[in-house]
Amino acid sequence: MDRAASAGLVVCGVLLFVHLVWYIGGWGSETLQAYVTDGMYPPLALLFTLLGVRVVRSPGLDERSRRAWLFITASFACQLIAHTSWFIEDVFLHDTTYPSFADYWFLIFDPVIVVGLLLLPGQPRSRSDKIKLTLDALVVGASTFMVLWYLVLGPVLATAPVDGMAYSAALPVGDLMLVLALTTVLLRRTGVAADKAVLLLAGGIVTYVVADVYYGYIQLHAGFVGGTWPDLLWLFGCYLFALSAHRQRRQTLAIRTGRGRRVAVNWLPYGAIALAYGLLGLVARREGWYPFGGMIVGAVTLTFLVVVRQMYSLRENRDLAITDALTGLANRTLVTERLAQLTARPQRAGRCSAVLLIDLDRFKPINDSYGHEAGDAILRAVAAALRQVVRTGDTAGRLGGDEFAVIMPNLPNPAAALAIGERLLDALRTPVIFGDQLLAVEASIGVAIRDGSADSEQLLAHADTAMYHAKRSGRGRLQLYTADLDTRSRDAELRRAIANGELIVHYQPVVDLNDGHIVAVEALVRWAHPTRGLLMPDAFIDLAEEAGAIVPLGEWVLREACAQAVRWRDGVPALDALRLTVNLSPKQVTQPNLVQTITGILADTGYPAELLVLELTESVVLEPTPETVARLEALRERGVGLAVDDFGTGFSALSYLRQLPVNVLKVDRSFVTGIATDPQARQVADAVVRLGEAFGATVVAEGIETVEQAAALRAMGCRLGQGFYYHRPMDGDAVVDVAKAAASR
């Protein structure tokens, strides 16, 4: 069907061109030209009517556009009836009645297509915009009325007989309605991505109106003869209608979208004013320059000055709307527009684009200490530094507060963006003089390089992610965005890993230092990453803490470890009394349903609560809120053991230990290293061990790697320990093998 429609358009286009050449060449009599012209209308009208029906029936068309095209197609059908009737009346019946049956259908065409035009969707507008749009449309309508009055409407009312006056006046009035509706559509769609179907439809309507006015003028002054220029214009308008319907069908199937909103000046009202004044000038020249000539020149001059003044005001208002008042840089509005323009354009081969997001370090203390005037002085100095560093064509803007952005299109490579960022860092390190104070300021800068898929919001978010990573890394730094920095994407990846079973649990035994007998195992999570291999906890635990995935991760590890321990108890008698130690993150401790979650896991897996030990980091011990203490006491009442990991590294922990129901202290490996060779290290380790015993807790030494360290700990009275000297972390099957080997000895 699409090929048939395209072929029909090509054939009609060729016939129109041949007919134009034939008319200009002056071949054939006037009667033959009129008959040939009349015969071309029905097939063209049938073509654009059928194409309109296809548009209405297109499945991808939105409902508002479908309603609009329903009326437009109905107006096409009016044209089909009118042209077919005219052909029969003129060629076969030789009926010269005025107005004829066809004339009424030509007249009905106008209000029907006006409704269709007004139903076409446009750019969303505020109430203020709608008022200005209406005024602009009325300006065009008034100017058109002046032209129609002078050329057609005035002479018709002055000379036409009473019985034919209504129809003769209705034609120019219908054309005026068309112009008003078409103007409304074009103004309403300013800022919308170019819609060729609407433009073709507008071209057809304009051609029709010009032909109508030409026809009316000829009819009044010389008498109309078929097959002349008005007919040629009408035929061309019909062809544009067909092209418009075909284009709309193709656009609907392609489902193209446009982003952003262009800021544009509606030149249509000013063009209409110029046309009206041109007509007045023509009248004045014919009637004599006195008395109206000077008045017309003055009116034209005044109108021109008013338009120039309005253009200047619009430009000034636009500058105010897109400029940051304090720094003179672009504001967030303009930065957003430029970002949208950057991502909407295709990337040139061999070039790249980048966005820099700049946040001042320690700006708030300066602002609070020295006042807002000092803060404003720093912001203006930053703006000056930006102007010195950025290239011509780059956009430097202030997003708000102490946050700035630089948009850099058309870079040779990503290294160029980093070089500009480094120069900016150096420029911002220059102290700012404020009164007798020398204020030092630095900045953290995030750099995002545009890729083909990122839109403006994603690009700015990537730069923001990189900037915050620079702050966390020590401030005063430049950071290029990579996918590894994106907490949200990495968090999603980690959650998918939990759901897809990519996480595994290894177990490191805790032994009796006197005989090496395994008394407990510590559950340690690993990530079997599909592309990066086996990842240790330090590669993803901090991410899980920051992103919030640590809670489901911790619950999964506890459930998996308890289930594994139950399988050991059922299959290996030597592991029946084995204690299980599982880490509990600070965020898990703050969960109101912590006790219910842990008791639920124990009930689901069947693991005894008295064999479970939950390890707390000293960050929990340092700030034990009443709610935290209550939850931990509830767990101890149910038989769950509590241990403090990395004991001794937090200086304030000792004052809180007596408040917490802790029964195990795990001495940090930093106290174990060096105890075999350094007397001072040995004394410190001995003090930590005895301090743990003073709290009445079982002491477990971590990080034992040599026989000498084990011997020294035994001499101090430390009974339990773990480390590579005894066992490395291993999977569940390896724990069974080790237990069976120990039982056979």
48 lies in a domain?
yes
Residue 544 shares a structural domain with residue 478: no
Instruction: Report the C-alpha gap between 102 and 78 in whole angstroms.
Output: 9
Q: Residue 130's CB: how many other CB atoms inside 10 A?
A: 11
Mean pLDDT, residues 528-555: 81
Instruction: Report the C-alpha gap between 659 and 695 in whole angstroms.
Output: 11
pLDDT at 523: 95
Residue 670 shares a structural domain with residue 588: yes
Q: What is the pLDDT of residues 176-197, one digit of tens each?
A: 888 888 888 887 765 444 478 8
Contact 665, 700 (CB under 8 A): yes
pLDDT band with cut points at 50, 70 and 90 for residue 259 = very low
Token pair recorded at residue 72: 């437009």
440 lies in a domain?
yes
Residue 410 shares a structural domain with residue 530: no
310 lies in a domain?
no
Instruction: Report the C-alpha gap between 543 and 540 in whole angstroms.
Output: 5
Token pair recorded at residue 611: 């064999």
Q: Which of 461, 485, 509 delimits the end of a domain?
A: 485
The HSE-up count of residue 20 (CA atoms within 13 Å, CB side) is: 12
Q: Which domain holds residue 450?
A: 332-485
pLDDT at 262: 42
Mean pLDDT, residues 474-496: 77
Residue 481 shares a structural domain with residue 493: no
pLDDT band with cut points at 50, 70 and 90 for residue 264 = very low
Q: Which of 485, 507, 537 delimits the end of a domain?
A: 485
198 lies in a domain?
yes
End-to-end CA distance of the chain: 87
Beta strand pairing call for 395-400 and 403-411: antiparallel
Residue 463 shares a structural domain with residue 504: no
Residue 429 shares a structural domain with residue 505: no
pLDDT at 304: 64
Residue 91 shares a structural domain with residue 167: yes
Q: What is the CATH number of the domain that holds 706?
A: 3.20.20.450
Provide the domain count of the chain: 3
Residue 493 shares a structural domain with residue 467: no
Token pair recorded at residue 148: 């129609």
288 lies in a domain?
no
pLDDT at 192: 46
Residue 461 shares a structural domain with residue 565: no
Q: What is the pLDDT of residues 337-351, one digit of tens each?
A: 888 888 877 777 778
541 vs 567, residue with greater confidence? 567
pLDDT band with cut points at 50, 70 and 90 for residue 358 = very high
Mean pLDDT, residues 238-254: 83
Token pair recorded at residue 345: 């354009």
Nearest to 739, CA basis, from 518, 537, 532, 413: 518
Residue 39 in this model has a pLDDT that exceeds 70: yes
Q: Which of helix, strand or coil describes residue 409?
A: strand
Mean pLDDT, residues 267-272: 59
Q: Which of 437, 456, 485 delimits the end of a domain?
A: 485
DSSP string, 642-661: EEEEEETS-TTTHHHHTTS-
Q: Residue 148's CB: how many other CB atoms inside 10 A?
A: 22
DSSP type of residue 33: H
Q: What is the CATH number of the domain that holds 419?
A: 3.30.70.270
Mean pLDDT, residues 714-731: 92
385 lies in a domain?
yes
Residue 629 shares a structural domain with residue 537: yes
Residue 652 in this model has a pLDDT that exceeds 70: no
pLDDT at 648: 63
**Highest mean pLDDT out of 156-160, 306-310, 345-349, 555-559:** 555-559
Nearest to 497, CA basis, from 531, 467, 524, 466: 531
Residue 261 in this model has a pLDDT that exceeds 50: no
318 lies in a domain?
no
719 lies in a domain?
yes
Q: Residue 206's CB: how many other CB atoms inside 10 A?
A: 16
Residue 711 shares a structural domain with residue 654: yes
Contact 404, 386 (CB under 8 A): yes
